[in-house]
Chains A and B, each alone.
Chain A
C-alpha cells in the first residue's frame, strides 16, 4: 500500500478494524460452543443414565442348533470392520444375571438376530449384591416350604412388603454393626492397648463386660442376618434357569415394559434420588454417591472457612500496612505465582507438613493412647487445609484488588472523622470491599471443589461410608478419610473392575459435581448481590 493511500483511505475494511471484530467473535463462538457442548454432553449422558430403557427379548440364530433368546436392554449400536474388510453391525445389550452368564453385557451380531420383542412381563430387579437381574418373576419362597406363585393373588403386595421389611432389617443391622459394635470394639481396642502398658483389675473387668456385650450383639446380628435370608424371590431367566434372590437383598423391582411415560419419569426420579441419597455398592459401580457429595461439600465449606480469614488478613497487610517496596513486590509476585504451582505439589506438601508433621504432633500430644494413627493419616481436615493453601492466592489477589478499588476519599473521610487506621480499614474499607472479597472466595471455592490430584495424597479414598459428620460422638470427625466426587469420577472411569457398567455413573457423577459447584457458587453470588444491593456499591 502506498503512503498516500494509507494516509487517506479511511473506508477500507482493514482500517475500520472489521476483520478483527470478526476474529474476536469467532474466538468467543468457539469458546461458547465448547462450553455448551461439554455441558450438553454431560447433561444428556447424565440424565440418560437414569432413564429406564425398555426391556427386550432378542432371538438369536445359533449355528447348528436352536435359536437362543436373550433378555436385556439396549446399550448401544455400533459397526465394526472385520479383518476381511467387511462391516459388521452389532448391538450391545445389558443382560445382567451375572452368576448365570458371567458377563453383564453381551454383543450380538445384527445378521444373527431373528426377532426383537418387548415382552410385558419382563422385570428388572435391583439387588444389593451381584448386579441387576432381568427375567420373569416366578415365585416367592417364604420361610419353610411355603411358596407363592407369581400368578397367585397378592403376589405383588407380598413382594413389596418383603422388600420394605428387608430395608428395615438392613437398617437395624447397620445400627448394630456400625454404631453399637463399632463403639464396643473401639473401646476394647483402647483397653487392650492400655493393658499392654500395664494391667489393672478395673480394666480387666470392663473388658470382660464389653466382650460379653459383644457376644450378645453378635447374636443379634446373626439373627438379623438369618431373617434377611428367610425368604427368597425366584426369577426365571430367558433360558429357563432360575435365580434365587433373598428378599433381604432386594432393593427395587421394576416392570419396565408395563409403565407409560410418566411411570418411566417416576422411575427416573427415583433412580436419581437413590443416586444422590445412598451409599455406593459393588466397588462403587452401583448405588449412590451420597458420601462423596457430603465429602465434597463439607471439604469445600471447611476450606472456605480457612481460606477467607487467612487470605483477607494477608491481603490487608500487603495492601494497607506493608511499606510498598521491592520486598512487598517480591511477595506479591510469589503469591501470584503460587496460583500457578501444579496442584499435586500442594498435595505433597500437605502430606509432608500437615499429615506427617502436624498430625504427628497432634497424635503425640492427644492420642498417645491410640495404637493407630488418628491425625497422622489423611483426613478431611488436612485435605481442607491443603486446598486452602492452594486457593489462598486467589483470595489474596481478589481482596487486594477490592481494597485498592475503595476510593481514597472514603479512607480520608474515615480518618478525618478521627478513626485510627485500623478503625478505618475495619469499619469502612472492609465493608466497602466485601463484594470484591466474596468474588475471590467464590473463585476459590470453584477451584477447590474441582481439585482432585492433591486430595489423593491427603485423605480422599475410594470408599468411606463413615461420614465426617455423623450421629456418633463426638459428631464431628475431622480426622476421617472421605469420598470426593472428583475422585469418584476418576475411580469409576479408570479404576473400576467393570468399566462398562460404570460408564453411565461417570456421566451422572460428573453432572452432579458440576451442579454442586454451580449451586455453591450461585449461593455465594446471591449473598454477594444482596450485600451489593444493600450498599449499592457501583464498582466490581
Chain B
C-alpha cells in the first residue's frame, strides 16, 4: 500500500538571509504519484522542491524552520548524510545539463560516484535506464559518443535517465520542459506518466496544461504560502480558493 505521507512537509519555513520565501508549509506528498507545484514566479515552489534533496544547502546564509520527513525520517536529522540522501532523491533541472562525457558515462555517473564500477552491471543499468527514459532506441548505437551531440529533448531525457539510474525513490523535476519545444515536451510528459509506476515524482511547472495533463495532485503556492493542495482535477475544476481560480484561469501570473 503506497504511503500517503511519503514526503511529509511539516510547518516548513525557509529564508535566504533576511528574505523569507516559504511560510509554514504543511503538505503530505503520497508515494508513487505525480505531484505538481504551481504558482507565479517567485512564489517559492522551486525553493520548496530544492529543499527536498537539500540542494539549497549549497547557498550561503540560508535558514529553515520546521521539518521535512522522507518516509518518516527527517531530512535534517544530524545523522542523515546529505550524499546518501541525494542518492534516494534524484533531480532533473530546468536547463538540460548533461556532463562533458559520453552518453554512457552520463547515465552511469551516479553509480560510479557510489563506487560501483562493474562493467556488466553498468551495461545492464544503461540499457534498462535508457529504456525507461524512452531513449534507448535513439542512442543505442552511439552510447560512447558525446552527450552534447543529442538534441535538446534527447539531452533532457538523458538527464532524466541519469537521475533515475541509481534507483532513487523520489524524482524531483524543476520545470523539466521549460527549455524544450512542444513535441519534446509531450514526450517528457509521457515519460513522467510512465515513471510514476516506479518513482514518487514532484514536478514544478509554469505550464497549467502540463500540470493538469500529467499530475495526480496539484499544490498552488502563492507568496511563499500553500494556498491550495488537492487532487489535480479538483484544483483545476472546482478550486476552493479564489486566488487559485484566478491564477489557473490566467488572470495573473
Contacts and interface: CB of A to CB of B under 8 A. Distances in A.
A420 B162 contact: no
B97 interface: yes
Interface in A512-540: 534-537
Contacts of B148: 535-537
A389 interface: no
Given A536-B148, A536-B149, A537-B148, A416 B109 contact: no
A154 interface: no
A406 to B, nearest CB: 9
A433 to B, nearest CB: 9
A415 B86 contact: yes
A413 B95 CA distance: 11
Interface string B158-187: 010011001000000000000000000000
Given A412-B55, A536-B149, A419 B90 contact: no
B153 to A, nearest CB: 17
A418 B110 contact: yes
A65 B149 CA distance: 87
B97 A409 contact: yes
Interface stretch (A204-212, A335-343, A423-431): A423-431
Interface in A405-454: 407, 409-410, 412-420, 423, 427-428, 431-432
Contact of A416 (B84, B86, B112, B149): B86
B213 interface: no
B53 interface: yes
A534 B149 CA distance: 10
B97 A410 contact: yes
Interface string B21-61: 00000000000000000000000000000000101001000
Contact of B166 (A407, A418, A427): A418
A17 B162 CA distance: 51
A420 B110 CA distance: 11
B19 interface: no
B83 A420 contact: yes
Contacts of B91: 412-413, 416
Contact of B162 (A417, A423, A431, A537): A417
B93 A413 contact: yes
Interface residues of B, number: 29
B159 A413 contact: yes
A386 B176 CA distance: 51
A431 B101 contact: yes
B99 A412 contact: no
Nearest to B95: A409
B146 interface: yes
B18 interface: no
A431 B100 contact: yes
Nearest to B85: A418
Nearest to B109: A417
Contacts of B112: 427
A418 B100 contact: no
A535 to B, nearest CB: 4
Contact of A419 (B89, B94, B109): B109
B62 interface: no
Contacts of B163: 416-417
Contacts of A416: 53, 55, 86, 89-91, 93, 163
Interface string B129-167: 000000000000000001011000000000100110010
Interface string A386-411: 00000000000000000000010110
A415 B100 contact: no
B233 interface: no
Interface string B113-124: 110000000000
B146 A534 contact: yes
Contacts of B162: 413, 417
Contacts of A413: 91, 93, 97, 99, 159, 162
A412 B112 CA distance: 17
B196 interface: no
A417 B93 contact: no
Interface in B60-88: 83-84, 86-87
Contact of B100 (A412, A417, A423, A535): A535
Closest 7 CB pairs of A and B: A535-B100, A416-B91, A536-B148, A417-B110, A418-B87, A409-B97, A419-B113
15 contacts: A409-B97, A412-B91, A412-B93, A416-B89, A416-B163, A418-B83, A418-B166, A428-B101, A428-B109, A432-B99, A534-B146, A535-B100, A536-B146, A536-B148, A537-B148
Given A413-B159, A418-B113, 4 more contacts: A417-B166, A427-B109, A428-B100, A535-B100
Interface of A: 407, 409-410, 412-420, 423, 427-428, 431-432, 534-537
Interface of B: 53, 55, 58, 83-84, 86-87, 89-91, 93-95, 97, 99-101, 109-110, 112-114, 146, 148-149, 159, 162-163, 166
